[in-house]
Amino acid sequence: MRTVSDIMTRNIQVCTPHDSLTRAAQIMRDVDCGSVPVCEGKKVVGIITDRDIVLNCVADGKDSNKVHCHDAMTTDVITCDSNTDVHECARIMAQHQIRRIPIVENGEICGIVAIGDLAKENIYINEAGEALSEISEPGHH
Residue 40 belongs to domain with CATH number: 3.10.580.10
More confident residue, 135 or 79: 79
Q: Backbone dihedral region of 97: left (phi > 0), alpha (psi from -120 to 50 degrees) or beta? A: left
In this predicted structure, what is the pLDDT of residue 75? 96
Tell whether 85 is covered by a domain: yes
Judge contact between 123 and 132, C-beta under 8 A. yes
Tell whether 47 is covered by a domain: yes
Tell whether 101 is covered by a domain: yes
Q: What average pLDDT does this structure show over 60-64?
A: 97
In this predicted structure, the answer to whether residue 137 has a pLDDT above a threshold of 50 is no
Tell whether 24 is covered by a domain: yes
Q: How far, in whole angstroms, is CA 52 from its chain's centroid?
A: 14
Question: Which is it for the CA torsion 29, 23, 117, 89, positive or negative?
Answer: negative
Tell whether 140 is covered by a domain: no
pLDDT in tens, 73-112: 999 999 999 999 999 999 999 899 899 999 999 999 999 9
| Domain span at 8 | 4-133
pLDDT grade for 138, boundaries at 50, 70 and 90: low
In this predicted structure, the answer to whether residue 6 has a pLDDT above a threshold of 90 is yes
In this predicted structure, the answer to whether residue 5 has a pLDDT above a threshold of 50 is yes
Tell whether 141 is covered by a domain: no
Tell whether 108 is covered by a domain: yes
Return the percentage of the chain with pLDDT > 90, whole number.
77
Tell whether 139 is covered by a domain: no
Give the Cα-Cα-Cα angle 133, 36, 9 (nearest 5 degrees): 50
- Structural domains of the chain, count: 1
